[in-house]
Structure 1
Amino acid sequence: MFSIIIPLYNKSKYIKRALDSVMEQTFQNYEVIVVNDGSTDGGEKIVFEYGERVKLISQENRGVSEARNRGIQESRHPWIAFLDADDFWRTDYLENMQRGIEKFPTSGIFGCSYAQKMAEFGKLHPEAWFQMDDYFKRAIINTLFFTSATVIRKSFFLHNPGFDKSLARGEDLDVWFRAVLFFERPVYNFSKLVFYSHEDAGQATNRVFPLRRSLSYKILRNKLYSGYGDNFPADFEVFRNRYVYFNLFPYLIDAQNNDDAKELLKNLKREDGLLRIPYCPPFGLLRNFMKFSGGRDLIRNYLKFCLRYIYKE
């Protein structure tokens, strides 16, 4: 039923924990595909010890997007489950996903919540599975879906591009958003069935990348986000504009992004005027403000306040 895709790049300290959490699942109808993306720390040797229980594919380092895409290409089952090598699942994770699929058989994307502290790991939510007609209204506050806690019907990848290797960050959100547009009405469970690890100090979430390699640029400018015809939900337009307003400002710390930022701002609708205020000063002045301690946090908190309380629908 499930093809479990695990990209592996220099996570030898964690890969056994991830794989053990898969082997201990109460639901056993699955295959495991680990794509070794050019690791140099010997992690693939640990995977090899699992024998025929795990399919190991090795390639030169091409990045996490290509590793996941390779795993999807090699998969044999109708549902794709993702797990990062430093995260792990509760033993009934797949069983819960299977129950959700049985309850909502026409849906194509399922997700659950995750824990970042062991004290929260495994907490069940009384609401269990529910289907969303208003995902994009929720998503501006919380995008909900997280890589190691998301299952997608494989048919999505047969009709749509997979993970975008050109994105420096947000390649997972790009897939979730497009999957919701493609399938409509995603299904979610707030139970914390996944542990999201922050142990890997190599994570680069605070690095600044070219704006053209961001999801903010793609979601506004790429034709993929306007090609869903009758399935295109009206609330996505609102979400798209607010998403870009909220995520654009960190890229202005690099002056090379100025022209692309101006282009995006020209294409953003002006109905959300309060969200536009931080971008009104000259970019050089805004850049200097963000260099001060707490400058970025102040802008983020202002935008967050607007989205949660002023533009709340």
Structure 2
Amino acid sequence: MILEVSVIIPTYNRRAMLLEAIHSVLAQNTGAFELIVIDDGSTDGTQNHLTRFGKTFRFERIEHCGPAAGRNRGVELARAPLIAFLDSDDLWAPTKLERQLAFMRENPGCAISQTDEVWIRNGRRVNPGVRHRKRAGNIFIDSLRTCLISMSCTMMRTVLFRSLGGFDEVMLAAEDYDLWLRILIDHEAGLLDEPLVTRRGGHRDQTSATTPAIDRFRILALTKLLTDDRLSPMRRAAVVEVLAEKCRIYAGGLARRGRIDQARFYEHIADQAPNWPPAKIGCAVKSIRSALHEIPDEC
């Protein structure tokens, strides 16, 4: 069978959930895939437990660097023209790959697509809010405030991922938000409107629970966009508006906790963003990257 898609699962200390995720991939109705599991330095015995699968999939252990690095390494190893990501706490329906591969074949101009999903939180099904509902087409501006592409639902052209340099490994959170926005500048999102993914939330090791002040990573993503000459004037104005909003909200949280210098830094970004010359934006990106190495209080 022709290899059509490389499936990439990064994982860190999620041994039990990972095994369930792997089983959901191996149970797919199509065999036109390879599975690549990247262990991001787990300390819970993940590597030993994966030996039961033998050579069913490719496995590599790396030094703990975060999910962005794990996914990037997976794509480096990928051999197929398409890639699909699965978070180690999520599950696929048995027809997920088969149906999405058919969608991509039927839409050869589609660079990135996703399926619909079911949300489970603390073991119970919940309905996503209206702003989270998936949609197809030109969703760049809508995606500035809410990440509208779900990692475990995504399938994309491998060449596109590599051309954009993959996920930003400095970003310990919102790395998906960052990459999707860079893709959506030039590409519309395809949607297979079938709930073929189970998204499991509410557990203590979720990024949203373990990484404080996630908006600081979104601020970096938005500032980076302002260096991209592919932005139209209308889209640039939309990016500036959302960037200023997020900077002022984050700055307010910093100020309430006595971090006055940091608060002023983000207020300055909000003030300057509408009229930034390119050289100043580049300096701001570097400064924000440096600030990410500090461990903030919860904001």
Q: TM-score, normalised by structure 1?
A: 0.73
Instruction: Count residues with an aligned counterpart.
Output: 258
CA contact (8 A) 2:117 2:194 kept: yes
1:252 aligns with 252
> Could you tell me which amino acid in structure 1 is paired with residue 143 of structure 2?
A
1:138 aligns with 142
Matching of residues 276-291 of structure 1 within 5 Å: none
In the alignment, the residues of structure 2 paired with residue 130 and residue 205 of structure 1 have an alpha-carbon distance, to the nearest angstrom, of 23
In the alignment, the residues of structure 2 paired with residue 190 and residue 239 of structure 1 have an alpha-carbon distance, to the nearest angstrom, of 28
Matching of residues 5-84 of structure 1 within 5 Å: 5-84=8-87
**Compared with structure 1, are the counterparts of its residues 190 and 261 closer, same or farther at alpha carbon in structure 2 (3 Å cutoff)?**
farther
- CA-based RMSD: 2.8
* Secondary structure of 2:34's aligned partner: strand
> Could you tell me which amino acid in structure 2 is paired with residue 264 of structure 1?
I
Matching of residues 33-182 of structure 1 within 5 Å: 33-117=36-120, 131-132=136-137, 134-140=138-144, 142-182=146-186
CA shift, 1:257, in A, is 2.8
CA contact (8 A) 2:68 2:167 kept: yes
2:236 aligns with 237
Specify every segment of 5 or more residues in structure 2 that has no aligned partner in the other structure, as ranges: 127-133, 276-298
CA contact (8 A) 1:167 1:215 kept: no
1:262 aligns with 267
> Could you tell me which amino acid in structure 1 is paired with residue 169 of structure 2?
K
Bigger Cα displacement from structure 2, 81-90 vs 143-152: 143-152
**Compared with structure 1, are the counterparts of its residues 130 and 250 closer, same or farther at alpha carbon in structure 2 (3 Å cutoff)?**
closer
CA shift, 1:104, in A, is 1.4
CA contact (8 A) 1:136 1:239 kept: no
1:309 aligns with none
Bigger Cα displacement from structure 2, 70-79 vs 259-268: 259-268
1:136-156 deviation per Cα after TM superposition (whole angstroms, max 9, x unaligned): 243246432011111121112
CA shift, 1:253, in A, is 1.8
CA contact (8 A) 2:89 2:200 kept: yes
1:300 aligns with none
Q: TM-score, normalised by structure 2?
A: 0.77
CA shift, 1:95, in A, is 1.4
**Compared with structure 1, are the counterparts of its residues 165 and 102 closer, same or farther at alpha carbon in structure 2 (3 Å cutoff)?**
same
Matching of residues 192-231 of structure 1 within 5 Å: 192-205=195-208, 207-209=211-213, 214-220=217-223, 222=224, 225-229=226-230
CA contact (8 A) 1:252 1:261 kept: no
In the alignment, the residues of structure 2 paired with residue 161 and residue 18 of structure 1 have an alpha-carbon distance, to the nearest angstrom, of 26
